[in-house]
A and B are shown apart, each in its own frame.
Chain A
């Protein structure tokens, strides 16, 4: 099975900050990497698919990059509605494992 790790596990940031979250796969997954935002009591929301493709309707302040084993999610200017937990997910093989999550909260 492919294992996913994320760093940091949590971070505190201010509105307007640039935030970067890293995701690493235990083996190459090409660009089969997705990013989700999850808020308590809500359904997860797809932000980025295929490592860098912005999901329709998602703000352009979200961007993704990477290939192989190392990936990043960047929020260019953090907004109040962005405080949430972010998960990466590999979809390279048939067991679509998630990373452990990165919680972004208010500094």
Chain B
């Protein structure tokens, strides 16, 4: 059974750093592209970042240069390193994996982890 479990969220001051983890089971993160998507309070879904099986990465304009997506194949875990955090980064962060259609859709999502950036 495919499962994705995000951890690492919490309260952090503006300018601080946080690393989110997404532990996967039921498949290998190295064989699928993996995404981070977030939802700020009262807002819609916002795509954040993707890492392909090749290791190629892309970022939304709003986080490029501050966030880094990576994975540890030996731990079957996806990460999101978030630096220089801002109030507008406050959101529930979801990890998700490539669907079997392989056309950019994501078929499994975690339950999310809440990041709050505030003094």
Decide if B26 is an interface residue (CB 8 Å cutoff).
Answer: no
Contact (Cβ within 8 A) B47 A87: no
* Known A1-B61, A43-B112; contact A36-B45, beta-carbon cutoff 8 A: yes
Decide if B99 is an interface residue (CB 8 Å cutoff).
Answer: yes
Find chain B residues with CB under 8 A from A45 CB. Answer: 109
How close is A59's CB to chain B, nearest CB, in angstroms? 16
Contact (Cβ within 8 A) B109 A87: no
Decide if A16 is an interface residue (CB 8 Å cutoff).
Answer: no
Select from chain A the residue with minimum beta-carbon distance to B95: A43
Contact (Cβ within 8 A) A50 B50: no
Interface residues as binary, A34-58 with B (CB distance below 8 Å gives 1, 0 otherwise): 1010100011111001100101100
Interface residue stretch chosen among B15-23, B82-90, B100-108: B100-108
Contact (Cβ within 8 A) B104 A98: no
Find chain A residues with CB under 8 A from B77 CB. Answer: none
Contact (Cβ within 8 A) A43 B111: yes
Contact (Cβ within 8 A) A55 B99: yes
CA separation between A1 and B60, bound complex, in Å?
Answer: 9
How close is B26's CB to chain A, nearest CB, in angstroms? 15
How close is B21's CB to chain A, nearest CB, in angstroms? 17
How close is B101's CB to chain A, nearest CB, in angstroms? 5
State the B residues within 8 Å of A (CB): 35, 37, 44-47, 50, 58, 60-61, 94, 96, 99-101, 103-107, 109-112
Enumerate the 10 nearest inter-chain pairs by beta-carbon distance, A residue then B residue, closest first: A91-B104, A49-B105, A43-B109, A101-B44, A34-B105, A94-B58, A98-B45, A96-B47, A49-B101, A46-B107
List 15 A-B pairs, Cβ < 8 Å. Answer: A43-B110, A43-B112, A44-B94, A45-B109, A49-B105, A50-B105, A55-B107, A89-B47, A91-B105, A95-B61, A96-B47, A96-B50, A98-B47, A99-B44, A100-B44
